[in-house]
A and B are shown apart, each in its own frame.
With several copies, the nearest count.
Chain A
Amino acid sequence: MKKVVNPGIPVGAKDYFVKIDVFEGPLDLLLWLIQNNNMDIYDIEISKITSQYLAFINTHEFDIDSPAEFLAMASLLIRIKSSLMLPKETEEHQLALDEKRALTEKLLEWKKIKASREILLSKFRERKNLFRRDEPAAIELEKKSALSVFELADIFGRIIKKGFHKFEEITGPEIYIEDVIKELLERIRSGEELKFSQLAFQNPTKLYVAVLVLAVLELTNKKLVTIKQARPFTDIYIKPVLSAVSGKNITEQPSGGESFYGNG
């Protein structure tokens, strides 16, 4: 932040060397001059202020950030000053009075903005060490569908009703024994011992459990696995018959055909 020293214009003896922030704009400078002269903002002594203003911008032209605006203010001040020297009845004099009033209004508004600026700057300093997260936390929620299965069924119903297609019997969702067998084979290929309860738990539906039983029996029948149960109502363990599992049987579709189980 640039500092300028009081430009040596006639001010009260109280502040000969006043260090001030570089003026933000012409209003800033004007207000500072008015306050330094202990002038009533509602009754600005235009000629005094104008000469001090001009003196300042002449000596500080290189410190000024936006010279055009400072010059515009200078010409306004000069215009008001010269018009006020005309007789009171003249239109120019009345116009200058209006402009002077408007300038007072702007300065009063400017004072408020400056006061607010100071409040904001101090609040900012107080809080510069407080932080928050501006974005929602990155969390994983299990996604839920906005559509329900009933709506899906309805959509399907409407597709069918369009009548373009003759379907053979639609049976509803299906679980294929081939799929279950394939999955079991994939899992026991590594020599893993499977627990029936674990398998059933991954899709705990009556249909799946029923198909699972059939699949396990099928695999036993083909001598690909052995099943073992310590005593009634305890878990059933499914173990690979290693020689068979490592053979090429395993990659074949174990039982073909269209056998499936559905709820239709």
Chain B
Amino acid sequence: METAELKKTIEALLFISGKAISKDRIATVTDSRPVAVEDAINELKLEWNSGRHGVFIEEIGGGWQISTRPECADYIIKLYPWKGVLRLSPSAAEVLSIILYKQPVTKAQINEIRGVDSQASVATLLKNSLIKYSGRKKAPGNPRLIRISENFYHIFGIRDISDIPSWKDLAEDSRSAEEPEIDETAAEETAQEDE
């Protein structure tokens, strides 16, 4: 296949795939030598990766894929809210708030504060890397201690620890306000987060 045709074909394959395709796979499908595929992709990169486009060709795990530019992420999330949003169930949010303000805590302490078993919520939060186990409490049974993880800061968009409000100040505010402003509806419909 001559270069221009190969380039066209690779564009079509990458667009239709939406995920990474290996060089060998492209070579097999297009009946070309891997070297030719690589050359064609390098030429395509020159065209697509200028920053003028909303998508670019990226090498991922030994293959290539088309990715969207980071500056377009906000619009993609608006188009597919489930793609980049972590939604927590009300109980997971409760557990997270306890860990945030009481860390380090044990699971037993969380259960005691909430009055219900929090195992499922802790598992969800761990899975999403919002919290981590770190160290053990010097107490009978040496229970594991739970803390907020670094990822928490990214997910909640906090730059600085001083961005975390003092719950006391908010509690003062909400005493004067009629109702604490919590988006119950958003939390309720979303027991677990989407992929």
Contact = CB atoms under 8 A, between A and B. Distances in A.
Q: Do chains A and B touch in the complex (CB under 8 A)?
A: yes
Interface of A: 1, 21, 24-27, 41-42, 65-66, 69, 73, 106, 108-117, 119-121, 123-124, 126-139, 141-161, 164-165, 167, 170, 172-176, 178-179, 202-208, 263-264
A225 B174 CA distance: 49
Contacts of B97: 113, 116-117, 120, 152-153, 155-156, 159
B83 A147 contact: no
Contacts of A119: 164-165
A138 to B, nearest CB: 4
B175 interface: yes
B93 A151 contact: yes
Contacts, number: 280
15 contacts: A73-B115, A110-B113, A110-B114, A117-B93, A124-B156, A130-B70, A139-B68, A143-B86, A146-B190, A154-B181, A164-B115, A165-B112, A173-B148, A179-B147, A206-B162
Interface string B73-100: 1001100100111111011011011101
A123 B163 CA distance: 11
A155 B94 contact: yes
Task: Specify which of B65, B117, B165 lies most central, judged by the most chain A CB atoms within 10 Å of its CB.
Answer: B165
A136 B80 contact: yes
Contacts of A161: 171
Contact of A112 (B117, B161, B167): B167
Contacts of B115: 25-27, 69, 73, 106, 110, 164
Interface residues of B, number: 77
Interface of B: 15-19, 65-71, 73, 76-77, 80, 83-88, 90-91, 93-94, 96-98, 100-104, 112-117, 128-129, 134-135, 147-148, 150-151, 153-168, 170-171, 173-175, 180-183, 186-187, 190, 193
